[in-house]
Amino acid sequence: MKSGNQIFEEFQKNMQELIAKSPAADIEKNVKAFMSQGFSKLDLVTREEFDIQVAMVDKLRERIDALEGLVKALEEKKQ
């Protein structure tokens, strides 16, 4: 008698074979290719590039805040 785990693994294997032999596999490939082509036409950035830009903006915001504080202190000193 097969264990529950063996039955599940056999079922999973059969489902993968069924999907691989069905038109669903071709449809999936075509959809992925279509979407890749569409995304390549858009001006998108990777998550890594986005995170780098966010870090740069955060650093610039800190510098601006520091400079604004310095300007304010100089203006108060001048008065």
Do 35 and 4 belong to one domain? yes
Do 38 and 60 belong to one domain? no
Do 72 and 58 belong to one domain? yes
* Residue 30 domain boundaries: 1-42
- CA-based nearest residue to 58, from 34, 66, 16, 46: 66
Do 32 and 55 belong to one domain? no
- Give per-residue pLDDT as tens, 18-53: 777 777 767 778 888 888 888 778 888 889 999 999
Do 72 and 61 belong to one domain? yes
pTM > 0.75: yes or no: no
pLDDT band for position 4 (50/70/90)?
Answer: low
Do 13 and 30 belong to one domain? yes
The token pair at 61 is 């915001």
Q: Which residue has the tokens 């039955």?
A: 7
Q: What pLDDT score was predicted for residue 23?
A: 77
Q: Which helix (H) or strand (E) holds 2?
A: none
Do 40 and 48 touch, CB atoms closer than 8 A? Answer: no
Q: In the chain, which ranges are E strands?
A: none
Beta-carbon contacts of 12 under 8 Å, excluding residues fewer than 6 positions away, are none
Total domain count for the chain? 2
Do 19 and 52 belong to one domain? no
Residue 56: pLDDT above 70? yes
